[in-house]
Structure 1
Amino acid sequence: MGTTQQLGPYRLISALGSGGFGEVHLALDADGRTVAVKVLHPHVASDAFAITRLAREVETMRRVRGRHVAEVLDASLSGERPYIVTRYVQGRPLSAVVAKDGPVTGAALLRLALGLAEALESIHAAGVVHRDLKPANVIVSDGEPYVIDFGIACALESASVTASGAVVGTPGYLAPEVLEGRDAGPEADVFAWGATVAFAASGRQPYGTGPAAAVAYRVVHREPDLSGVPAWLAPLVERCLSGDPAARPETAELAGRLNEAAPVLDGIEPSQQALSEASTREWRPGDRRPARRARRAEVDDPRAAHREKLHRRWVVGSAVVVGLFAAAARANFPEVSLLLLVLYGIALVADAGFGLLARSRRRRLVVDAVSGVGAVGVWALLSTLFSTTTLLMAVGTVVFILGMLVFAS
């Protein structure tokens, strides 16, 4: 919106998005803290039965507390513009993450699945059923998932609201019992967890796309498409997507099953598994340990792998360059040639020391050792096979290329 608006004690700053039940705004509370304010659409606000039901449920929703949920902080359901206030989580919806970055894999997928399981456990422990868990209602921030809009769909389910255009849930993530009009409880959220995690892992809707009626038919009568879901996760997701609610695991069981599957993950070290398991511990206000654990887990995966790759390229590349420079100086400046090799060796020893202090992987130390030997080998080989003039021309070419790279960057 162009200008700020006041809604009760909240100053609306900008619109964040819109859904079937309302428009979400970034806002500031009376103390200047950022919050998310969901302003209900007029056709929802005019449904007295739905608003009364929501007012009863809000007090229960406010009891939900968990590290992976955007807690309900306040609500005002009287007047022309009823609204609900939740904690603001800065991040991107899971649907946008997958659309831009592709499927979630490895340790990131495990952390996502564990976080969503913990969120549902917190929601169900308070006696609330989300009823509309889907990728759009999962905000991913620094690799951690946060569930929003819990309980709203269930509370606002009424004939007049549905008839006026709001869809109570999303086909493809709604459990069969919901689509068939049967009683639905926490088991329906477990189904939605399975569909959401399957989407994150494969990048595709497990029941396909198309008209809502066609997708709903597949949910009730067809098996989900789990191709692309890794083998360590697929059996659990398949159980969650069972057509029989009684066959689905409880939310308390999900985290345990995920931790059992964690050791078979390729590329996840024990330290990362421990961090993933630690992320499911109970969080209390003021406890900063989960945030620190999340930052460490984020460093261990995939950024650390990227840094290891860059480190390996730089060390190997510098070994070749140092060997070339030392070989070019060997004939006329043997002291300089030896000094270059010695200085490079000292740098590798220092790098290996930092790797040990940081508890880096052992292969980093191997890369340093091989690069040191390689630099000496390049020096000996080039100085034997090529003349000083040829080597100086090669040095000039390398210096020119490095200068162009620096200039371009």
Structure 2
Amino acid sequence: MSVPTAGQLGPYRLLSRLGAGGFGEVHLALDPDGHTVAVKVLHPHVAADEVALARLAREVETMRRVRGPHIAEVLDASLTGTRPYLVTRYVQGRPLGVVLATGGPLRGEELTRLARGLAEALASIHGAGIVHRDLKPANVILSDGEPYLIDFGIALALDSAAVTASNAVLGTPGYLAPEVLQGGEASPAADVFAWGATMAYAASGRPPYGTGPAPAVAYRVVHQEPDLADVPAWLMPLLDECLRTGPAGRPTAEQICVRLGASVPPAMVPHARRRAADLSEPPTEQWRPGKRALAGAVDDARERHREKVRKRWVVGTGVVAGLVAAAVRQYIPEMSLLVLAAYGVGVLVDAGLGVAARARARVVFDLAGGVGSVGLYAALVAVFSPGTLLLALATVLVVLVMVAVAS
């Protein structure tokens, strides 16, 4: 039975249905503190599989400890009752596949951020002894240009005969490694293969093993070379290694991070040690790590929002300062200089805070804003008459007042 688009599930208030996959439906929801989260409600055929739920319960204990700036962390879970569910951080954005379908392949900084972010996410997951097993464009969310990996560990945990017989998708041809397609184990090397296939798609705008029926795509993965024709030269050697047929020849996620200049996450619980633990104890069926994990996610979101507002302030006030200085130059030269000087002081103060915080990008952005404001002032004075500039200034002020009132 499908979960209603609105209603209560445990302590969570479901708001709307975001989508569905092989294992469950994903809903946007509010937690008891009013924070938005993503709730994945398992399909009835999955919820009825006791073996799969027991395995998932054991995996969840490790999944909830995985943290990273590019991971939609598992925050909560309830695996009892008729509607078992998982709760993860909600990332507002669009799946990578949708972004590529509407905007074409990624280039430059966008592609670099995707490659580094996904590599860091894989390194964090593998460090905890978890294999994603279903890394593909649909499981990568882009928000403000930053990638976030979702659904890690779920496919492997729910891999059982009953679930498979119910047609749950345990991977996507074209992103599944050759050894998995041939019946082998899904290891971290299989995730690296999926990373390479996903990056090839992002860089070229087309799947590296083509499209068509699943068996045809799977045959190409096992027996043919990937299509990397339009992949940038700096990325092609790395993808060529990641898409090797033999898992032993592929780099690890940590090695990919090093080669891309990305941050290597600290080591998590080793896989062998976790598997050596006494699994005879009853699995945790329900746990609630509380507000700490959610607080970290909310703090990250607030920090990104503050940075966005700060950049808009630098650009917006720079444009207004340049326009005001150019408009009053003919009539009140002293005020023209005062406006530019005031903006310059504000930018320098913000840049100084960036220096103290060792935020190089912030300092560069502030200095560029200051130079841009002076350049705009000079261009306006050279091109437009004082009367035209005054009219433009009046129009801008009226628009700002209307926006303020509407707010």
TM (norm. structure 1) is 0.70
Cα offset for 1:64?
1.9
Residue among 136, 139, 152 paired with 1:137? 139
**Structure 2 CA distance for partners of 1:230 and 1:15, relative to 1, 3 Å:** same
Range 79-88 or range 178-187, more displaced: 79-88
Q: How does 1:250-289 map to 2 (within 5 A)?
A: 250-259=252-261, 277=262
Change (3 A) 1:373 1:28: closer
Contact 2:244 2:250 in 1 (8 A): yes
How far apart are residue 105 of structure 1 and its match? Answer: 2.3
Alignment-mate amino acid for residue 213 of structure 2: P
Partner residue, 2:209: 207
Task: Give the equivalent residue in structure 1 for 2:360.
Answer: none
The corresponding residue for 1:71 is: 73
Q: CA deviation at 1:61?
A: 2.0
Tell me how far apart the structure 2 counterparts of residues 224 and 362 of structure 1 sit (CA, whole Å): 42
Aligned match of 1:170: 172
Kindly provide the amino acid, as one letter, of the partner of residue 21 in structure 2: G
| Post-superposition offset of 1:356 | 6.4
2:219 aligned partner: 217
Q: Distance in 1 between matches of 2:345 and 2:33?
A: 48
| 1:241 equivalent in structure 2 | 243
Q: Deviations over 1:257-294 (max 9, x none)?
A: 001xxxxxxxxxxxxxxxxx569689996779976886
Q: Are the structure 2 counterparts of residues 146 and 363 from structure 1 closer, same or farther at C-alpha, using a change threshold of 3 Å?
A: closer
CA spacing shift, 1:20–1:289, aligned 2, 3 Å: closer
Match of 1:25, SS state, is: strand
Q: How does 1:109-128 map to 2 (within 5 A)?
A: 109-128=111-130
Deviation readout 1:155-207 (Å, 9 max, x if unpaired): 12223322322221111111111111112211111111111122222222121
Q: Is the 8 A contact 2:5 2:27 kept in 1?
A: no
| Residue 141 (structure 1) shift | 2.0
Shift of 1:29: 2.9
How far does residue 18 in structure 1 lie from its aligned partner after superposition? 0.3
What does residue 148 of structure 2 align with?
A: 146
CA contact (8 A) 1:91 1:140 kept: yes
Structure 2 residue ranges without an equivalent (≥5): 269-291, 352-362, 400-407
Moved more, 219-228 or 244-253: 219-228
Aligned residues: 360
5+ long unaligned stretches in structure 1:
260-276, 323-335, 380-391
Cα distance change, pair 228–363 in 1 and its aligned pair in 2 (3 A)? farther
Matched residue type, 1:71 = E
Alpha-carbon distance between aligned partners in 2 of 1:281 and 1:298, rounded to the nearest angstrom: 28
Equivalent residue for 1:102, pick from 97, 101, 104: 104
Distance in 2 (CA, whole Å) between partners of 1:18 and 1:158 is 20
The 1:232/1:296 distance shift into structure 2, 3 A limit, reads farther
Q: Find the aligned partners of 1:141 and 1:168 in 2 and give their Cα distance.
A: 26
Identical counterparts, % of pairs: 58
Relative to 1, partners in 2 of residues 1:371 and 1:63: Cα closer, same or farther, differing over 3 Å?
Answer: closer
SS in 2 for 1:130: coil
1:377 Cα deviation from its structure 2 partner:
9.6
SS at match of 2:239: helix
2:73–2:88 contact (8 Å) kept in structure 1 = yes
Secondary structure of the 1:200 match is helix
**Alignment of 1:179 onto 2:181:** yes
Q: Give me the CA root mean square deviation.
A: 4.4
Maintained 8 Å contact 1:117/1:251: yes
CA, structure 1 residues 39+362, in 2 after alignment: closer, same or farther (shift >3 Å)? closer
Q: Distance between the aligned counterparts of 2:109 and 2:195, measured in 1?
A: 18
Question: What does residue 198 of structure 2 align with?
Answer: 196
Which amino acid in structure 2 is aligned with residue 65 of structure 1? R
Higher relative contact order (CA 8 A, sep 6+): 2
Indicate if the aligned counterparts of 2:192 and 2:252 stay in contact, CA closer than 8 A: yes
